[in-house]
Amino acid sequence: MTHKGKRRCECFDLYKELTPYGEAWSWQKSIVKERKALIEGNEDWSETLIILQHQPVYTLGTGSSEEFLNFDIKDVPFDVHRTERGGEVTYHGPGQKNNSILKDWIASGDQKLAAIGIRVSQWVAYHGLALNVTSYLTPFQRIVPCGIRNRRVGSIKGLLMESLSLDGCRRTDI
C-alpha cells in the first residue's frame, strides 16, 4: 500500500481523568484489531495516540515472575493485570502520563523516570510510555520494577525539586 499525502493521527487526551487499566487495555486492543483489518483490506488508516493516567494498578508482562512482587498475590494492594507486553512488573497510577504497556525503563542518573513497552503483531506496533511526572512513588516499593534492583524510581517533579535545592546551595568561586 502506498501512502498518499500526510499520515493522520487521532489524539485522545484523557489525562485529566483516571482511566481503569482494563478499560484502556480493552480500548487499545480494539484499535489494534481495527488497524489489522484495515491493513488486511489494503485500506488507509490513521495512527492513534492516547494520553491518560490510570487508577493505581500493577501490570506484569507475559514472562513476568511473581518473585518481583513484594506482596502476597492473594492479598494485593491494587488490581494486578497480566498483559501481552514483554518485561516484568510495574506500577501505573495518578500523576503518570501513559498510554498502557511497558518493557524497559528510561533512566536519569540512578532514578527510573519512565517505562516504555512495545508489542508488534501482524505488522502493527503498539507501544506505551509511562512517564512519572508527579507520581506518588510509594507503590513502587511493593515491587521490583521491571526486575531491576539497582535503580530507584523517581519522578520529574522530584528531580526538579532536587535540582532547585542544589541550585540554592551551589557555591561559585570568584
Specify the pLDDT at position 120.
81
Given the C-alpha cell 483516571, which residue does it identify? 18
**CATH fit for domain 10-164, picks 3.40.800.10, 3.30.930.10, 1.20.58.1910, 1.10.390.10:** 3.30.930.10
Identify the pLDDT of residue 1: 46
Beta bridge partner(s), residue 130: 98, 115
Helices (DSSP H) in the chain: which residue ranges? 21-40, 156-169
Active-site annotation, residues: 146
Residue 140 has pLDDT above 60, yes or no: yes
From the list 150, 29, 142, 158, the residue with the least C-alpha distance to 95 is 158
> In 3-state terms, what secondary structure has residue 11?
strand
pLDDT band at residue 128 using 50, 70 and 90 as cut-offs: confident
Chain centre distance of CA 96: 8
Confidence class for position 71, pLDDT limits 50, 70, 90: very high
Tally of helices (H runs) and strands (E runs) in the chain: 2, 10
- Higher local confidence (pLDDT), 154 or 101: 154
* pLDDT greater than 60 at residue 85: yes
The predicted model gives 68-80 an average pLDDT of 92
Among 47, 156, 59, 144, residue whose Cα is nearest residue 100: 59
Please tell me whether residue 114 adopts helix, strand or coil conformation.
strand
- The proportion of the chain whose per-residue pLDDT surpasses 70, expressed as a percent, equals 83
Using a 10 angstrom Cβ sphere, with 0-12 exposed, 13-18 middle and 19 or more buried, the burial of residue 51 is: middle
Strand partners, 119: 126
pLDDT at residue 102 greater than cutoff 60: no
Name the β-bridge partners of 98: 52, 130
Domain coordinates in residue numbering, the chain = 10-164
Q: From CA 155, how far away is CA 63, in angstroms rounded?
A: 27
Parallel, antiparallel, or unpaired for β 90-92 and 104-108? unpaired
Average pLDDT, the chain: 81
118, 104 Cβ separation under 8 angstroms: no
